[in-house]
Amino acid sequence: MMGTGIRLGRIAGIEIRLQWSVVIIFLLIAWSLATVQFTLIPGSSATARWVAAVIAALLYFGALLAHELGHALLAQRKGIEVESITLWVFGGVSRLKGEAEGPADEFRIGVIGPVVSLAVAALFAGIWYLLGALGAPALAVEVARWLALINLLLGVFNLLPAFPLDGGRVLRAWLWRRRGDRAAATRTAAAVGRAFGVVFIAGGLFLFIAGAPVNGLWFALLGWFLFGAARAEESHVLLAAALRDVRVAQMMTANPTVVPADLSVQDYVSRAMASRFTSFPVVDGSGAVVGLVTMRLVRAAMARGQQHATVGQVATPLGQVPVVSPYDTATHLVEQLQQAPDGRALVFDGGRLVGIVSPTDLQRMLDLALLRPRAGR
């Protein structure tokens, strides 16, 4: 979900993206400020209010980006690769390729975001005071005041121990240090996060019934997000813990059957029916792998009336297929599969195709890994 959106550029080598939902939230913030908040300022024209509202909304999302950059840049200093930052309807998400090595790093990376937000709040509070002392236009003073308060709210909210909010990650770091078990700490922190989600949903329903439907809807959506995100994060961490000692070679289907790029879609169906597989690496005339064809792609092609197209034309190009080594860890594979459109990866050893990993392979190994006795992480 977080890997899509509008690409804005890079900061310190980190790709910055924007979900389309942010455009809607930006417009809602600007509209609310221009038509409600700033109408309380005497002597301000509608044009001036809208200009101030747009500037305030832009600075707000700039502060959100600063919050996420705090996490990302500190993670980089701790040796964790940061792939991207995506701003979306509930704030921002930093996509990290790796995890903190210990609870101390987990704590620092978690707490830096709220610290940045509180520092931004202090900055705008100072600007608010300075503009007031200098007799600046009341609209400019109100923009600074609103930005100070909204960033204070953002910093305090993110300190709630509701995993996966920053406060929840701080809670996990504390539990991790106390118990010496990251997976157990994640389970407890995720349970707290889900509890907060239920409370927010219940609060939203109460507000809706009490006659505040807009606020009620926001609370309910936020609760739904917290509940779902806590469960997803817990699943990801426990999956990584279960597969921590597993190598790709233990999971893959070795020596996969390949199909030529000039094979027709109709002939692919016949080939798949004669095999227990439905996904095949695609090779060109020289035998080089050029892509991966799956049942989903073939079904879509047939729905478009492309029965006579070749699998080379409908296959996912090799550059878009996750490629791993048989010696890579399973956790590295899982990270790569998060970007895979078909949930599959090809395995190469020294430039030679040696295997393929499918969701079935991953589930089989996970089922076996979960049968092992738990040990401290």
**Catalytic (active-site) positions:** 68
- 331-339 own/partner pairs: CB under 8 Å, 24+ apart: 331/240, 331/243, 331/244, 332/248, 333/248, 333/251, 333/357, 333/362, 334/236, 334/239, 334/240, 334/243, 334/362, 335/97, 337/362, 338/3, 339/3
CB count in 10 Å sphere of residue 67: 29
Give dist(CA 258, CA 287) in Å, integer: 9
Query: Would you say 117 and 90 are in contact if contact means Cβ atoms under 8 Å apart?
Result: no
Query: Would you say 212 and 293 are in contact if contact means Cβ atoms under 8 Å apart?
Result: no
Query: Would you say 17 and 84 are in contact if contact means Cβ atoms under 8 Å apart?
Result: yes
Tell the burial category of 212 from Cβ atoms under 10 Å away from its Cβ (0-12, 13-18, 19+).
middle
How many angstroms separate the first and last alpha carbons of the chain?
29
> Could you give the 3-state DSSP secondary structure of residue 150?
helix
- The 8-class DSSP code of residue 310 comes to B
Give dist(CA 302, CA 307) in Å, integer: 5
Give dist(CA 73, CA 6) in Å, integer: 21
The residue among 258, 226, 215 whose CA lies nearest residue 348 is 258
Provide the pairing of β-strand 81-88 with 14-18: parallel
Provide the pairing of β-strand 280-283 with 259-260: parallel
